[in-house]
Amino acid sequence: MSASTLDPTIPGKLLRMLFHDCFVEGCDASVLIQGNGTERTDPANLSLGGFNVIDSAKRLLEVVCPATVSCSDILVLAARDAVTLTGGPSVPVAMGRRDGLVSLASNVRANIIDTGFSVDAMARSFTAKGLTLDDLVTLSGGHTIGSAHCTTFGDRFRVDANGSTVPADAAMNAEYAGELIRACSAVNDTVSSSATVDCDEGSASRFDNAYFVNLLDGRGLLRTDAVLVQNATTRATVAAFARSEESFFASWAASFARLTSLGVKTAADGEVRRSCSRVND
Ligand code: HEM
């Protein structure tokens, strides 16, 4: 039985972990390293999960085929399969990545996009890695599965003169805003810090194009999701994906291939780790 069958939150966790790996030091499993001051210890990575799935796959591989499959390849395959298992496209990915030797928390903030970023700021971050605005919209579609803590979108609400919590963004669907406020009980209240909400209301366990339909309806959860319909260029792509799941899936295949090619290590730049949570001795 697969880890995703036992725990339906696993696919989202694995896909997000891949994004956080590839954007910092390239797709080299640097995000998996444990220890003081590693990427995992940065606040942006504290809510990552699913590490045990990668560790278990590695342990098994070391028995049947030692020192051959890198942790970075395992993570790419796991994320690829997380998409397929939840109903998304099955896409080809290249193999042969080597695992990185460096994992520094200080590299995370400069590379991982914050939910306060504008479309232009996100575009700059993507362009710096050789990715396009279309890649940004397509890969944001990763939010078609999984969930987010109330704390990651609490700043989308404010308290008005009557003491009521209201959306700060008039474009947020009012019904949706009410649902979020209820789900988080009291936004900005520490009580809600562990509460989570589905990123893609109504179909968060299915990898489909509903995320884009929701964005057009003012039902984007994170600020960075919502702003994709406030920029003319990105809005056109969102609308195209909302109309056609097929075009989202085709674009996903191409963007996922580019994401998983970022900063790939070869030869002596890397190694095949024996255990995914630490570099070899
Ligand atoms: C473009 C900028 C992005 C921002 C600002 C962003 C931010 C976030 C945040 C704040 C969460 C919630 C984390 C939590 O509270 O636990 C989240 C969840 C998630 N993100 Fe992103 N993300 C971005 C892009 C991506 C990309 C490119 C992918 C993958 C291709 C991705 C995949 C996911 C997934 C699958 C989840 C759900 C995780 C879970 O269920 O545990 N995100 N993202």
DSSP structure string for 153-220: TGGGEEE-TTS-EEESSTTS-HHHHHHHHHHTSSTT-GGGGG-EEESSTT-TTS-SSHHHHHHHTT--
* 143 and 187 housed in the same domain: yes
- The pLDDT confidence band at residue 218, using thresholds 50, 70 and 90, is very high
**Residue 49 Cα to ligand 1 middle (Å):** 12
Hey, whose CA ends up nearest to atom 10 of ligand 1? 152
- For the chain, what's the residue count? 281
- Same structural domain, 108 and 195: no
Task: Please report which confidence band the pLDDT of residue 192 belongs to, taking 50, 70 and 90 as the band edges.
Answer: low
Q: How many angstroms separate the CA atoms of 212 and 111, rounded?
A: 25
Q: Quick check: is 19 in a domain?
A: yes
* Residue range 55-82, pLDDT digits in tens: 999 999 999 999 999 999 999 999 999 9
Q: Identify the pLDDT of residue 190.
A: 57
| Ligand 1 atom at minimal distance to the Cα of residue 153 | 10
pLDDT > 60? residue 261 = yes
- Our measurement of the distance from residue 196's CA atom to the centroid of its chain's CA atoms, rounded to an integer in Å, reads 15
Q: Which domain holds residue 220?
A: 135-256
The best mutation among 143, 184, 187, 228 to test binding of ligand 1, ranked by most ligand atoms within 8 Å of the C-beta, falls on 143
DSSP, res 96:
-
Q: Which residues are catalytic?
A: 20
If one counts the domains in the chain, the total is 2
- Domain-located, residue 280: no
Residue set of the binding site for Ca(2+): 21, 24, 26, 28, 30, 39, 144, 200, 208
Radius of gyration of the chain (CA): 19
**Domain assignment of residue 234, yes or no:** yes
Cα–Cα distance measured from residue 72 to residue 80, given in angstroms and rounded to the nearest whole number? 12
Q: How far is the CA of 268 from the centre of ligand 1 (A)?
A: 32
pLDDT at 2: 77
**Predicted confidence (pLDDT) per residue in 103-146, tens digit:** 999 999 999 999 999 999 999 999 999 999 999 999 999 999 99
Residue 129 belongs to a domain = no
CB 259 within 8 A of CB 139: yes
Considering the chain, what is the average pLDDT of its residues?
A: 95
Which pLDDT band, with edges at 50, 70 and 90, does 187 fall under? low
**What is the mean pLDDT of the segment spanning 147-172?**
93
Ligand 1 centroid from CA 143, angstroms:
6
Q: Say how many Å lie between the CA of residue 66 and the centre of ligand 1.
A: 33
**Which atom of ligand 1 is least distant from the CA of 224?**
5
Which residues have C-beta atoms less than 6 Å from ligand 1? 9, 12-13, 15-16, 19, 47, 49, 113, 115, 122, 139-140, 142-143, 145-149, 152, 199, 222, 224
125 within a domain of the structure (yes/no): no
Q: What pLDDT digit, counting tens, does each position of 25-53 carry?
A: 999 999 999 999 999 999 999 999 999 99
Give percent of the chain with pLDDT exceeding 90. 90
Does the pLDDT of residue 6 top 80, yes or no? no
For residue 197, the Cα-to-chain-centroid distance in whole angstroms is 15
Q: Please report the sign of the dihedral spanned by the C-alpha atoms of residue 146, residue 204, residue 224, residue 27.
A: positive
Whole-angstrom distance, CA of residue 115 vs CA of residue 73: 28
Return the pLDDT at 189: 57
The band of 188, judged by pLDDT with boundaries at 50, 70 and 90, is low
Instruction: Note the pLDDT of residue 186.
Output: 58
Cα 208 from Cα 88, distance rounded (Å)? 6
How far apart are the C-alpha atoms of 154 and 214, rounded to whole Å?
19
Same domain, 91 and 139: no
Report d(CA 256, CA 93) in Å as an integer.
Answer: 8
Rounded-to-integer distance, Cα 29 and Cα 278, Å: 10
Q: What is the pLDDT of residue 51?
A: 97
For the chain, the first-to-last Cα distance in angstroms comes to: 33
**Cα–Cα distance list, 157 to 102, 150, 236, 266 (Å):** 38, 11, 27, 46
In this structure, are strands 165-167 and 157-159 parallel, antiparallel, or unpaired?
antiparallel
What number is the average pLDDT over the span 168-189? Answer: 86
Kindly report the CATH number assigned to the domain that includes residue 139.
1.10.420.10
Single-letter code of the amino acid located at 215? L
Q: Scan for tokens 């009410």, then name that residue.
A: 178
Mutate to test the pocket of ligand 1, among 7, 16, 24, 144 (most ligand atoms within 8 A of CB): 16
One-letter amino acid of 155: D
Q: How many CB atoms lie within 10 A of CB 109?
A: 12
Same domain, 100 and 189: no
Run of H or E including 242: helix 232-243
Q: How far is the CA of 256 from the centre of ligand 1 (A)?
A: 15
